[in-house]
Structure 1
Amino acid sequence: MALIQVTEQFVHIPKGKFFVKTWSSAESKGAPIVLLHDSLGCVELWKDFPQRLCETTGRDVIAYDRLGFGKSTARVERPSIRFINEEAEFYFPFIAKELNLTEFVLFGHSVGGAMAVAIAGQFPQATQAVITESAQAFVEQRTIDGITQAKKDFSDPKAFSKLARYHGEKTQWVLDAWTGVWLSSEFLSWNLQTDLQKIKCPVLAIHGENDEYGSAKFPETICQYAGGSSHLFLLENTGHVPHRENPERILKIVSEFL
């Protein structure tokens, strides 16, 4: 097995800086995989998955903390209801330029999956493939119910402190950014249909049957409207975080897809 080298850096932008971590080896081949985290996520919450993904696929793996998360610069204002497309239009281009990413595979978990779709639509020539895991494709009642319950759960100081290990003083902003946007009436009409139709590359949609934030209609919608070829994996006895619940299965599915 090739030795995996891990590097860390900051990418500076007008509003602050992004924390970026890369897993690579001398034997890496093919377009690198860019990981896009979920609404409460960050680089470190991927745990050992990026390294295992690098080892399994033989590709470089890159993960970054969005602005306001993890080790990236804090934010004060709540994200707008266009925050998914703004990641593709404004923020991700800085990452692509600084890291000289002329081609890449996008792997997004939860809202990161929606961002992967939006970025692929923004960079159709550079995007070689899109992998969505537990991605939302529109706002479903199960989504609203799941986020409402999570908001209550994080009012428990123990749950809050666990999240604070990764986001520090940004933790309350991270929670408010998630619940404030997704539970707002203005966001109810959001969907991925237009962005999906811009995609020209293959798409892999992974979803757990027991996902507390969305039904199988999400990956079905992604595959229905994606402009390129699409593949759907609905995993039994699996919730919202398949790469943590069954990492071996996810690594196998992803490596075979690529």
Structure 2
Amino acid sequence: MSAKTEFAAIHWREKDVRIEVVRIAPERVGAPLIVFLHEGLGSVAMWKEFPQRLCDAGGFRGLVFSRPGYGRSTPRGVNEKWELDFMHRQAQEVLPKLLGALGINEPIWLFGHSDGGSIALLFAAHSPDQVAGIVVAAPHIFVEDKTVKAIEQARTAYETTDLPKKLARYHDSADSAFLGWSRIWLHPPFKHWNIEAELTGIGCPVLAMQGVDDEYGTLEQIRGIQRRLPQTELLELADCGHSPHRDQPEQAILATVSFINQRRLS
């Protein structure tokens, strides 16, 4: 992204934390504001040009940030372990603190990928007045064996290949990003993690997209959202894995722009 990186300061979990932030087209005053929530190994940089392209296509504003432990944000402590409710903490603690630090008090649109999609759903469920609508790409609403197996394979790759070196391009601490994510997902009690019951608190419009070839989950993730939230629009993408914004960016952009514009003008 060509936009300038800045850092926001929040106090979270009894310490000061810096959050890497990029604002897209803040001069588009009055345009919808999309907050982008990255995947379990993501960061500002790993989105690459997608947020800029999406915002330019729709004439939107954007806010992209790296969660604590990722990108250029404050890394996870050496002995810090994530709890089973780590996504709830991001939705109910980190994101509200960040929006407050940046002076954002308008209803926002959320675009969340993978873990970020789950966080978007949780934020919308618990802060309904702050959300105009959400787009989730390959979200998780419960844990599948397929997901655990894929993360186990990723852990093996991290231990035996140059994956740490590759992740270091996008994170100040590759260990902080990878180990925090993989350890909690592979922690046996996490297999019971499930947010399906919480979805009923979501009243805003929802677009849920997922690749038919998603290696980290089945289509039951987004179909399960629609069963509980009839207002959900589904987009099942052929020739697409776990990252619709990378595998099918044009379709993801077109669908998101249409979704937001139709609902903001209705």
TM superposition score normalised by structure 2: 0.91
Mapped to 1, the partners of 2:62 and 2:144 lie a distance apart of 31
> Partner amino acid for 2:57?
T
Q: How many Å apart are 1:176 and its aligned residue? A: 1.3
Q: Where in structure 2 are the equivalents of 1:72-87 lying within 5 Å? A: 72-76=73-77, 77-87=80-90
Equivalent residue, structure 2, for 1:150: 154
Aligned to 1:247: 249
In structure 1, what is the equivalent of residue 168 of structure 2? 164
Q: Does 1:10 align with 2:7?
A: yes
Q: Matched residue of 1:167: which SS?
A: coil
**1:53 aligns to 2:50 (yes or no):** no
When residues 158 and 238 of structure 1 are mapped into structure 2, their CA distance, relative to the original with a 3 A threshold, is same
Partner of 1:113: 117
Q: What is the deviation of 1:26?
A: 3.6
Shift of 1:135: 0.8
Match of 1:198 in 2: 201
1:179 matched to 2:188? The reply is no
1:230 maps onto 2:232 in alignment: yes
SS in 2 for 1:166: coil
Q: CA deviation at 1:156?
A: 3.2
What is the rounded CA distance, in whole Å, between the counterparts of 1:112 and 1:180 in structure 2?
17
**Displacement of 1:7:** 3.6
Displacement of 1:90 after TM fit? 1.1
Q: Distance in 2 between matches of 1:234 and 1:28?
A: 33
Q: Deviations over 1:150-182 (max 9, x none)?
A: 1112223422201011113x2112211111111
Counterparts in 2 of 1:145 and 1:5: CA distance versus 1, 3 Å: closer
Task: Give the direction of change, closer, same or farther, for the CA distance of 1:5–1:39 in structure 2 (3 Å limit).
Answer: closer
Which stretch shows the higher mean deviation, 203-212 or 146-155?
146-155
Correspondence for 1:218:
221
Distance in 1, Cα, partners of 2:102 & 2:115: 23
Partner in structure 1 of residue 34 of structure 2: 33
Aligned-residue CA RMSD (Å) = 1.6
Letter in 2 for 1:225: R
Distance in 2 (CA, whole Å) between partners of 1:188 and 1:130 is 26
Alignment gaps of 5+ in structure 1: none
* TM-aligned CA deviation for residue 8 of structure 1: 2.7
| CA distance in structure 1 between the aligned counterparts of 2:64 and 2:93, rounded to whole angstroms | 17
Structure 1: which amino acid aligns with 2:6? Q
SS in 2 for 1:125: helix
CA displacement at 1:75 relative to structure 2? 1.5
Is contact 2:28-2:61 (8 Å) kept? no
SS of the residue 1:188 aligns to: helix
- How many corresponding residue pairs? 253
Shift of 1:22: 0.7
